[in-house]
Amino acid sequence: MAVGIFDSGLGGLTVLDAVSKRLPDVPFVYFGDNAHAPYGVRDADDVYNLTTQAVERMWDAGCDLVILACNTASAAALRRMQESWIPRDKRVLGVFVPLIEALTERKWGDNSPPREVAVKHVALFATPATVASRAFQRELAFRAIGVDVEAQACGGVVDAIEDGDLILAEAMVRSHVDALKRKMPNPEAAILGCTHYPLMQDIFQDALGPDVSVYSQANLVAASLEDYLKRHPAMVGSGTENMFLTTGDPAKVSARATQFLRRQISFQSA
């Protein structure tokens, strides 16, 4: 009955932590493609090939449902996977939908025409690949009109977080927020479009100011997954144990993951 959670590195642990607290009886298989992180600087074909390889490994571990807790993979690979690659008895879901549901205050199953929403000026902070894909803007356009989205490609932030250099990560976040505000001086909302960024959420909020609503993904994805499993209980796979897989050095990844989550995490080679 395992569910898979995939990320290019350690950022997806923020999602894992949130969904584990919300669904304590569901075992999860986490796959971190640490050997190839970060994905945010790779081209779409590369991201697609790496993502499908990881998802197949989680299917082998008994996960019929896999969450792409990686915005770059959700942006650059998910649609192509859903159109031509995923078998009918499997599901792969991304992390944009819960964000857009929260921003537009309408459920994804609501297929009425796009309409105006309360928020008009949105800042999007994401990896270069996610920004280049324009996937967030495309999905938002299906639900809302009249929303101005200004995207800021946050090069280097994921690398600094993965390396554990939070001082450098903070400096980069503040620099990227300054660059965004030069283009959009008064955003009403900010989307943290990378699952690494919740680790720096307080810094984003401080740099943006108290009047900006900051949307982070972990808790939104957890709530959405709980709702999905209630509606599709058959999608919980045959796996029965928690498992942490990595393409990187298991000892190094385990140490960093333990530091992130403040509890013992032991990865094994994928």
Rounded CA separation 209/188 (Å): 10
> Which one of the listed residues 144, 194, 203, 270 is annotated catalytic?
194
Identified catalytic residue from 3, 37, 67, 70: 70
- H helices of the chain, where? 13-22, 44-60, 71-76, 78-84, 96-104, 128-133, 135-141, 157-162, 166-183, 201-208, 218-231, 250-261
Say whether 63 is catalytic. no
Active site residue 70: yes
CB 220 within 8 A of CB 102: yes
Give dist(CA 185, CA 178) in Å, integer: 9
Q: φ and ψ at 165, to 5 degrees?
A: -95, 80
Helix (H) or strand (E) holding 27: none
* Separation between Cα atoms, residue 245 and residue 15, nearest integer Å: 16
Residues annotated as part of the active site: 70, 194
